[in-house]
Chains A and B, each alone.
Chain A
Amino acid sequence: MATQVDTSASTGAGRVASPSFWSGVWQNHAPGYLFLLPWLIGFLGLTIGPILTSFYLSFTHFDLLTAPRWAGIDNYMRMFTNDPKFAASMRVTFVFVVFSVPLKLAFALGVALLLNRGMKGLPLYRALFYLPSLLGASVAIAILWRQMFAGNGLVNQLLANFGIQGPSWISNPNTSLWTLIILAVWQFGSPMIIFLAGLRQIPQDMYEAASLDGASKWRQFWKITLPMLTPVVFFNAIIQTIEAFKSFTPAFIISGGTGGPINSTLFYTLYLYNEAFGFFRMGYASALAWVLLAIVALFTAFSFLTSKYWVHYDD
């Protein structure tokens, strides 16, 4: 699942003559663990405990206010046999992931490429395109989004110029999810910045050499830019997908935590949050969380497996 075994490092370390077995072990493994030490302390000291606790809680009934009671696999059983909202929230989340992630990445990459041409005013544009991401998902955004996508909102006023009578996008159960997808795509700033950083990492002399060989811009893009950028594309794709599966705040803010109208924006984590803190069922919420983790982990493992065929590292 993790990075490919890189043999050059071990041969490098192997060059050092080892007087004994243990010093060999020390030579080979100690530097790695020393660099990893802060993270290991944090992981073992602060992170893993709460994670394991939530796993335990997923097998209990826990109402937050009194001690958890053991429930065996009740929570998981209920999820798959007797909970229509589980299925509904799954569907909402999958639609969101499938549409928002590719669109957001396409926008981010497109704008990053456009901005990487060394044109005038580049820092200004970069800042402007990052602005929506600065705004995050605040109450102000919720109010603005309602003004834009309501029945008499800005979007429908624009559409009216073309003779189109739009619905109340944000409050119609058939379209409300799309306003959240648009919000997610609109805030493409973070992957854009990461793409930009990735583009700057590509050695300039590769392009110079290619130009000398008469390679067209188009060919340079396919033969240099894209392959060199694959580690970053890979990162953005994985991270954005995980984040989209876990997406909570936009739906929480815009639907006021209801996931409405008619559960059409009931994101999985919003449902989970309502179960935990609205209806005092933390045990069930924990079980929901672990099912989500399993799905996301499967997806991630699959991505790492396929990555060796299309992600190019320099090692």
Chain B
Amino acid sequence: MTTDAERLTVVTGSSVTRRKVISIVSHVLLIGASIVMLYPLLWLMASSFRPENEIFTSGVSVLPSANWSFDSYVRGWNGLRVGFGQLFINSFVISALSVIGNVVACSLAAYAFARLEFAGRRFWFAMMLMTLMLPYQVTLIPQYVLFLNLGWVNTILPLVVPKFLAADAFFIFLMVQFFRGIPKELDEAARMDGAGPWRIYWKIILPLSMPVLATAAIFTFIWTWDDFFGPLIYLNDLRQYTVMLGLRTFTDNTGMSDYGGMFAMSVLSLVPIFVFFLLFQRLLIEGIATTGMKR
């Protein structure tokens, strides 16, 4: 007992200075790497303040132009006839609904695959994985015809309803992997106390899965926000366009383009997803590690 305690103090004592060195080295490395990561964003911002005819002659400079102005922002924001404000609302509604749908529906399916025993489980799991493997380009037209017959084209339903039906197998698979990491003894104990599958799902699995649920929420929001192919195919009305779709109308190879507006709105379009990321990343650190759950 005493030897253990001694060893512990020795270990901690010698590691104080070592830890400091490691910490400084880590920070230096991380700051250096951050610059590489950040550079494109700085360039994007610098470009958004440049006049149109300086954007392509300035190379990769991130220094602000002498002729900088907010013109691109004003032009871009008022673009597309309905204004970009409407597009931000549209994107937000679709993304937020997708987050709810994905987190709820995928966690239900993942719980079934990870914890429940039923006939055909392996078969359905394989089917689910298969849906990940086929390139979407070839199911696009049959899917379009399907949604057309349902009368959903030119509404947001084709973009949102599949999320509530767990069509995104990525997240089911992700959650399965995490659910399986939760100690099974917890289920067993709860079952002894008479808890059914629903209670175990609700009271044990979900609370212990905050990191993966937060991950799913973050990815869903960002990927839905960034998606343009779905909105491109299913939305016809300018008033329903999403931000990503709007961004792509700024540049046309055959006529006049508005690169400044495109850069300006690209910068603005990053704000909601970055804020969403910052809000939800707090949840990433809550998990078994911090809830003090003993095995």
Contacts and interface: CB of A to CB of B under 8 A. Distances in A.
Interface of A: 1-3, 5-6, 8-10, 12-13, 28-33, 35-43, 45-51, 53-54, 57, 64, 111, 114, 117, 119, 121, 123, 125-136, 138-141, 143-144, 147-148, 153-154, 186, 190, 193-194, 196-205, 211-212, 214, 228, 231-232, 234-235, 238-239, 242, 246, 248, 269, 272-273, 276-277, 282, 285-286, 289-290, 292-293, 296-297, 300, 313-315
Interface of B is mostly: helix
Interface string B124-150: 111111111111011101110010000
A260 to B, nearest CB: 16
Contact of B135 (A12, A235, A248): A248
B241 interface: no
B99 interface: no
B293 A203 contact: yes
A239 B114 contact: no
B118 A33 contact: yes
B105 interface: yes
Contact of A314 (B141, B181, B273, B281): B181
Contacts of B161: 46
Contacts, number: 309
B159 interface: no
Nearest to A41: B165
A2 B121 contact: yes
A191 to B, nearest CB: 11
B146 A46 contact: yes
Interface string B180-220: 11111000100100001110010000000001101100110
Nearest to A204: B289
A42 B281 contact: no
Contact of A39 (B7, B116, B172, B196): B172
A234 B177 contact: yes
Instruction: Report, as a range, how many residues of chain B touch the other chain.
Output: 35 or more
Contacts of B201: 35
Given A1-B122, A8-B184, A131-B38, A285 B178 contact: no
Given A128-B37, A131-B37, A147 B59 contact: yes
B81 interface: no
Contact of A135 (B29, B215, B218, B270): B270
Contact of B277 (A121, A127, A272): A127
Query: Lowest 10 CB-CB distances: which A-B pairs, in order?
Result: A42-B165, A32-B118, A2-B125, A2-B122, A197-B211, A50-B142, A35-B112, A53-B142, A32-B116, A39-B166
B39 to A, nearest CB: 9
B119 interface: yes
B34 A144 contact: no
